[in-house]
Amino acid sequence: MDPAAAEEFLASRCEMRGGVCYNKTSGAPVRAIVVVHVFGNMADMPAFLALAAKYHLILIEDATEAVGTYYTEGPLKGKMAGTMGDVAAYSFNGNKIITTGAGGMLVSNRPGWAEHAKYLSTQAKDDLLQFVHGEVGYNYRLTNVQAAMGLAQLEQLEGFIAHKTELYEYYRSHLDGKNGYRILPFRAGIRSNHWFYSLYLEDGRHVRDDVIAKLAGQKIQTRPVWALINEQKPYLHNEAFGLAKAQDYRAKIVNLPCSTNLTLQDADRVIAALLAL
């Protein structure tokens, strides 16, 4: 998310009434801002923290892709992705840097929030013996086996990050600025987990879907960026604002193979295929 675009939206499309931010068009209150740390990068958290304070918004961090990413300098030095907002989510899906097979974790700095989330995740039971439920609850728990797997994975996190960083630098040194490609950089002043490596098709000589198809023909799997939320059927009626850069990235990014099991020899095959296009 672009903090400048978010600020412009809040200033031009919203208004404060009684300490609450309201959307001028819909009249609905704007309660929260959801910031995604995409690809293991870090969003501009000082800017978003300031926006949340100014407009009285809950700040939710989607840190699902950024386990292990933290600031190395500035006022938030040492702060991990997911620890600066009011509440945050991490993902342990099978494609993330550490995994429990599925599921994730919720954390919060707000008193009582994590406890209430745990209560809801265990079916909101007030009486375990009599099965009395105080609210609509859910069964959102990891199994003990998944939790044990997650702890074992957590012990390997730094090794995974070191390997993924090496792979990222290898791709960058062999592809960046060559054959119409650019490897998107990560924000300065952070230690990224380098979860995904994004190849940007910058000069028009390549078409995203053609690149993906040609690599697939050589048994090399690559992926486009996710379709934008405002283009999804459930959200077509919602207001969208300032998405020009997101639309450009959607059209021109190919995400490269990046598993922690990938070797430099595997990367060489990907690089050779891309340079031959």
Is pLDDT of 37 > 90?
yes
Instruction: Report the Cα–Cα distance between both ends of the chain, in Å, rounded.
Output: 32
- For residue 62, is it within any domain? yes
- For residue 108, is it within any domain? no
CATH at residue 259: 3.40.640.10
Alpha-carbon span 22 to 15, nearest angstrom = 5
| Amino acid 228: pLDDT | 95
Give mean pLDDT, residues 152-160. 98
- For residue 121, is it within any domain? no
Give mean pLDDT, residues 71-92. 98
Alpha-carbon span 104 to 89, nearest angstrom = 7
Please, what is the average pLDDT of the chain?
A: 96
| Amino acid 227: pLDDT | 93
Share of the chain above pLDDT 90, in %: 95
pLDDT 10s digits, 89-123: 999 999 999 999 999 999 999 999 999 999 999 99
All residues at 6 or more sequence positions from 23 whose CB lies less than 8 Å from its CB, including other chains? 13, 14, 29, 30, 239
- For residue 120, is it within any domain? no
**Residue 190 backbone phi and psi in degrees, to 5:** -130, 160
pLDDT 10s digits, 227-265: 999 999 999 999 999 999 999 999 999 999 999 999 999
Q: How confident is the model at residue 218 (pLDDT cuts 50, 70, 90)?
A: very high
- For residue 202, is it within any domain? yes
Is pLDDT of 128 > 90?
no
Contact 111, 87 (CB under 8 A): no
Alpha-carbon span 270 to 277, nearest angstrom = 11
Q: What's at 15, amino acid-wise? A: E
Alpha-carbon span 110 to 147, nearest angstrom = 24
Both tokens of residue 218?
């050589």
- For residue 75, is it within any domain? yes
Is pLDDT of 274 > 90?
yes
How many domains does the chain fold into? 1
Q: How confident is the model at residue 168 (pLDDT cuts 50, 70, 90)?
A: very high
Query: pTM here?
Result: 0.93
Alpha-carbon span 118 to 100, nearest angstrom = 18
Both tokens of residue 48?
């978003």
pLDDT 10s digits, 171-205: 999 999 999 999 999 999 999 999 999 999 998 89
DSSP characters for the chain?
A: --HHHHHHHHHHHEEEETTEEEETTT--B--EEEEE-GGG----HHHHHHHHHHTT-EEEEE-TT-TT-EE-SSTTTTPBTTSSSSEEEEE-BTTSSS-SBS-EEEEESSTTHHHHHHHHHBTTEEETTTTEESS---B-PPPHHHHHHHHHHHHTHHHHHHHHHHHHHHHHHHHTTSTTEEEPPPPTTEE------EEEE-SSSS-HHHHHHHHHTTT---EEPPPPGGGSGGGTTS-----HHHHHHHHHEEEPP--TT--HHHHHHHHHHHHT-
Q: How many other C-beta atoms are found inside a 10 Å radius of the C-beta of residue 139?
A: 7
Q: Kind of pairing, strands 70-71 and 58-62?
A: unpaired
Share of the chain above pLDDT 70, in %: 100
**Domain that includes residue 57, residue range:** 3-103+142-275
- For residue 56, is it within any domain? yes
Contact 150, 142 (CB under 8 A): yes
- For residue 113, is it within any domain? no
